[in-house]
Amino acid sequence: MSYKKKENLNARPYWERSYAKKQKYKNHEDFHYRGEIKITGKETDMQECKECHRILSLTAFTSGSLRSDGAYYLKKLCRECQTEMEAEKREARKNAPPKSEGCDCCHGKNNLEMDHLHGTSIFRGWVCRNCNSGIGSLGDTLEGLLQAAVYLEKDKSKIIETLNRIKKGNRG
Ligand SMILES: [Zn+2]
Ligand SMILES: [Zn+2]
């Protein structure tokens, strides 16, 4: 009985099956062409650069990763900021020491990437992809990271306790 019901559901067109899929389908109508290349968003859309915060037309951004419908997402940084960032990274890489054994942050061993101090060409460390993107998502600042700590643990003394334990563990 219940099996039959399931089968009927599956026979329905996919955009009627769930809200999530309907949303996805809708989003994918949102694209335009840049020459031969399919780009996400409408040609007239504007996007704010995450670095310089200027609101620019989509042509100011280069393509990044690929969406499931074959359209490219655009980078979050405008062309100018992207170029600057790449130059910083190239410069930082020249002065970088050899790769660490593990992530300089969590000590994990997977996918180590070079991290540099934003806005400079100063090498900061070798960190895993998770730490790198996590720190970046939290604003790349101590304040952002501590805000998350306060969100996770309301008791300030416990945060300090944990901080001391981590420091002891890492530096003998
Ligand atoms: Zn920019
Ligand atoms: Zn890590």
Distance between CA atoms of residues 111 and 114, nearest Å: 10
Q: Is residue 48 part of a domain?
A: yes
Residue 13 — very low, low, confident or very high, per pLDDT cuts 50/70/90? low
Closest-lying ligand to the alpha carbon of 77? 1
Closest ligand to the CA of 127:
2
Phi and psi at residue 140, to the nearest 5°:
60, 25
Nearest alpha-carbon partner for 135 in 156, 104, 166, 162: 104
91 and 142 in a single domain? The answer is yes
C-alpha 96 – ligand 1 centre gap (Å): 26
What domain range includes position 40?
24-82
> Of the ligands numbered here, which is closest to the C-alpha atom of 111?
2
Cα 29 to middle of ligand 2, angstroms: 37
Q: Is the pTM of this model over 0.75?
A: no
Output phi, psi for 74, to 5 deg.
Answer: -95, 150
Same domain, 68 and 90: no
Selection from 60, 18, 112 nearest residue 10 by Cα: 18
> What is the number of structural domains in the chain?
2
Mark which of 36, 52, 82 sits at the end of a domain. 82
Q: What is the pLDDT of residue 172?
A: 35
* Higher pLDDT, residue 2 or 64: 64
Q: What angle do CA 116, 50, 22 make, to 5 degrees?
A: 120
- Ligand 2 centroid to 45 CA: how many Å? 36
Nearest alpha carbon to residue 114 among 102, 123, 122: 123
pLDDT > 50? residue 41: yes
**Do 69 and 133 have their domain in common?**
no
Write down the pLDDT at residue 2: 45
* Centre of ligand 1 from the C-alpha of residue 37, in Å: 22
- 57 and 43 inside one domain: yes
